A and B are shown apart, each in its own frame.
Chain A
Amino acid sequence: MDPLLDTAPCGFLSFSDDGSVIAVNTTLREWLGYASDTMQGHSIETLLPVGSRIFYQTHFFPLLKISGKVEEVYLSIRTADGGDLPVLVNAVRHERNGITVNDCVLMVVRQRNKFEDEILRTRQALSEHKVHIETLNQHLQQAMTETHHRVKNSLQVISALVDMQIGIGAETVPISELKRLSQHIRALAAIHDILTHQTKDGGEAEKISIQLTLENLQPLLQGMMAGRGLTFQVEDVAVPLRQATSLAILTNELVSNAIKHGRGDVGIVFTRQENQGRFEVWDEGEGFPVGFDPLLSANTGVELVETISRFDLQGEITYENRDQGGARIVVVFPLQHPDMH
């Protein structure tokens, strides 16, 4: 071998098409830790760790054979003591002394290799982040759609309340009715408050706790009580948002009726009986007069209560007097689960 090539600061290796090593320069032999003249005749594949071997057979050799050369191919080479040496290889095919040989020049790329490993790791991490961000973005878009949907529902409830008022056909609206309306709007706002917290904590916004809904209404209701007692007896059940909204308006309406027509304390009771919810508002007043017919009492409040109970909640409503005195309105309705839709 040319003495310049033999000790040049790069590895040199020549192999035949059947893969046997024909020549190796001293530089490469020393890198790999072989004694002199022990490498000739070795199969080139024995110098490669398994991953590099497959790459050699599936990429390196076919490319070299077809194009006559390869450039800047990264390979890992096995040293005599079993270590791995990362190298960049350039190779060309030549006819020499009547046979075809493949001449390779190798450069060790330890430092560059570390750097490239780092880049690959970073790229891997980046692509994972990207997937994560895309998922988050999807959730966000979904949440936005849902939010708009909910706001629209609430606005529809408000417009239905206003329409009922218009339906009466009077030229003017009593202040008391506007107060009621404002009370309902605030009840809806309270529900949106709960939703804000719920989604902030990463929880689902499809269902909402009845207890939480009524608790959030409490300050609103308390404000109407004018010193009278308000008691809660509420079993906690998670219900679909629509039912919670209906219950909030219903509570508002029934409590304000109890304040207006009844006396003493007012109570709110909610219990669950298997798949049914039982919602009750009581007071300690005179109770309903004999022969009370809700359908005959032309009153927007009662009409609203009827609509919500029978249509929105798909429930049954009863107006009765309590044994211990006072009125009681009970709505029994099927508890819906969002996943049953």
Chain B
Amino acid sequence: MPQNVLVRNNVRVFGNGAQPLLFAHGFGCDQNMWRFLTPAFEEEYRVVLFDYVGAGKSDLSCYSPERYGSLDGYAQDVLDICEALNLSDVIFVGHSVSGVIGMLASIRAPHRFDRLVLIGPSPRYLNDLPDYVGGFEREDIAGLLEMMEKNYMGWAHYLAPVVMGNPEKPGMSAELEQSFCSTDPVIARRFAEVTFYGDNRSDLPKVSAPSLILQCAQDLIAPVEVGHYLHRELTDSTLRLMEATGHCPHMSHPEETIREMKAYLSAAPRSNHR
């Protein structure tokens, strides 16, 4: 079973340190997005990378629309990996929606987590005016779904059966290896819906692990209001407003991201109470 999880989620472990640094990619990508950060951490930490089921080189036949119909299913992937590798004292680094996924995992298994590093997190992407600015209206998300559909067009038809749990999936992995940021369009669409229509604001007070919120300037996906909101709602959280613009500072501004992470991880001494 543990072995299966490692294959299922295409888990990679490397580095010379003892404390696990578990990187979780966001919607639309896979573990490759972390390649600009990991070299800075592999001396001191045990780096763990993985792809969520449905993304990257994960085993698509393990996908089920029920399990991954909510972020809890994705959080279960994180917990499964922690269990398979017997991880504790984990520093969880999550981009975008993975920030929430990490929070959910830490709520369910607090003993496994030391701290959370949340890059461009958002507990709810849709506006809930007047009290909450998430950044998006429902029709914006419909625009995204359409955009995805158009871009998945060429190969949508033959991948569709995978979601039904086609056990054999002949020749598919080879095909997909070439296309980073691509996955079964049906899975991608469902992940988009789960991500962008979700609302996890009520989970925030349940998070006990200390967290670092890395908030980009001009992030249109997770606007600065959301960063401040999270900072208010998460106990023991640190908010850092970055110079980096956009939504992927770990890719567009890796140096600054590394600096912020290291500053946070060294300033707050590793907690041993868990």
List residues of chain A with CB under 8 Å of any chain B CB: 17-19, 43, 45, 49-55, 57-59, 61-63, 65-67, 73-76, 113, 116, 119-120, 123
Contact = CB atoms under 8 A, between A and B. Distances in A.
Interface in B215-274: 218, 220-221, 244-248, 251-253
A157 to B, nearest CB: 43
A65 B252 contact: yes
Interface of B: 26-29, 32-33, 35, 96, 136-137, 140-151, 153, 156-157, 180-181, 196, 218, 220-221, 244-248, 251-253
The SS class assigned to the A binding surface is helix
Nearest to B33: A62
B220 A18 contact: no
- Report which residue of B26, B136, B218, B247 has the largest number of chain A beta carbons within 10 angstroms of its beta carbon: B247
A184 B244 CA distance: 88
A51 B35 CA distance: 27
A17 B252 contact: yes
A53 B33 CA distance: 18
Report the 5 A-B pairs with minimum CB-CB distance, sorted nearest first. A51-B143, A58-B28, A50-B140, A57-B247, A51-B144
Given A66-B33, A76-B147, A120-B149, A61 B140 contact: no
Nearest to B153: A116
Contacts of B180: 62-63, 66-67
Contacts of A45: 218, 220, 246
A112 to B, nearest CB: 10
Contact of A61 (B147, B196, B251): B251
A57 B153 CA distance: 20
A55 B248 contact: no
8 contacts: A50-B140, A54-B196, A55-B28, A59-B28, A62-B33, A62-B251, A66-B32, A123-B157
- Report which residue of B32, B33, B143 has the largest number of chain A beta carbons within 10 angstroms of its beta carbon: B143
B251 A51 contact: no
Given A62-B251, A66-B180, A54 B140 contact: yes
Contact of A58 (B26, B32, B253): B26
A19 B219 CA distance: 11
Contact of B147 (A18, A43, A74, A123): A74
Nearest to B222: A57
Nearest to A113: B150
Given A18-B253, A59-B28, A66-B32, A53 B248 contact: no
Contacts of A63: 180-181
